[in-house]
Amino acid sequence: MTDLALVIAAALWGAAAGAFLPRAAYRFSAPSGEPWRDGCPDGHPVRGWLGRAHCTTCTRSYGPGVAPLSLATALVCAALAAATGTRPELGVWLLLAPLGVLLAFVDFRVQRLPDPLTLPLAGAALALLGVVALVPEHTGEWPTALYGALALGGGYLVLFLINPSGMGFGDVKLALGMGAVLGWYGWSTLMLGTFAGFLFGALYGGALVVVRRAGRKTAIAFGPFLIAGAFVGLLIGAYAA
């Protein structure tokens, strides 16, 4: 498979996977302390987690549309394919990418990172990378992925303990998965992705202060920036590997 064909195939996979995310994005976008949404805005029950956010009873759409999530996932998957090439770990990145997009969306909307998403992501990342480590032509090390998960998760735990109002415990759980994928390509990739996440968060927070939409102590959802930093670090790590 040529590089272009691989990128196109990855983009098509991302577009298809992203098209199934709107209903889950709507149901998980419940404020902290509230149960996951089980009904449309008109009160009709919402069944299942995958598919469009559209109520067949009142014929009303709710939650995010298919196009934004599908496009975002397609772009992420295409970029990962371009960076990773035909190495076997690409399969792991493509499976985890839709989950990362979903987590970023939910946290940005309601500042909440659901345990049913963050913890399975960490477990799936380590399990899948463990399988890939047995496949020839992989570029990465599973022990470093494990240590990366523990290191980044531990680092975020320290930040949470120091300042619980500035760092949510959901970020700690998300850091486990992000540490695993970054650690696969080594400690330099882990540090780069971690730095990028904090840089993106600082730039966003600073921009909000400049336009007077937030104060210096205003809490922002950090999950999207943690994910974005890991994405950038992963791309650079894959290109450099």
So what's the pLDDT on residue 215?
Answer: 67
- The single-letter code of the amino acid at 80 is L
216 has a pLDDT exceeding 70: no
- pTM value is 0.94
- Percent of the chain whose pLDDT exceeds 70: 97
Domain boundaries, the chain: 3-240
Question: At residue 214, does pLDDT exceed 80?
Answer: no
Q: What own/partner pairs with CB < 8 Å and gap ≥ 24 does 49-54 have?
A: 49/23, 49/24, 50/20, 50/21, 50/23, 50/24, 51/20, 51/22, 51/23, 52/19, 52/22, 52/23, 53/22, 53/23, 53/25, 53/26
pLDDT of residue 228: 97
Q: What is the mean pLDDT of the chain?
A: 93
Contact predicate 173/115, CB 8 Å: yes
Q: What is the DSSP string of 20-89?
A: T-HHHHHHH---TTSPPP-B-TTS-B---SSS--EETTTTEE-SS-HHHHHHHHHHHHHHHHHHHTT-TT
Dump pLDDT digits (tens) for 42-81.
889 998 999 999 888 888 888 889 999 999 999 999 999 9
What does the alpha-carbon distance between residue 166 and residue 42 come to, in Å, rounded to a whole number?
A: 35
Classify the C-alpha dihedral 183-185-186-190 as positive or negative. Answer: negative
| CB-CB contact of 87 with 10 (8 Å) | no
CA dist 106 and 1 (Å) reads 35
**How far is the C-alpha of 195 from the C-alpha of 203, rounded, in Å?**
12
Return the bridge partners of 61, or none: 54
User: What phi and psi, each to the nearest 5 degrees, are found at residue 54?
Assistant: -145, 125
Calpha distance 229→238 (Å, rounded) = 14
Task: Please determine, for residue 110, whether its predicted confidence score (pLDDT) is greater than 90.
Answer: yes
What's the pLDDT band for 1 if we cut at 50, 70, 90? low
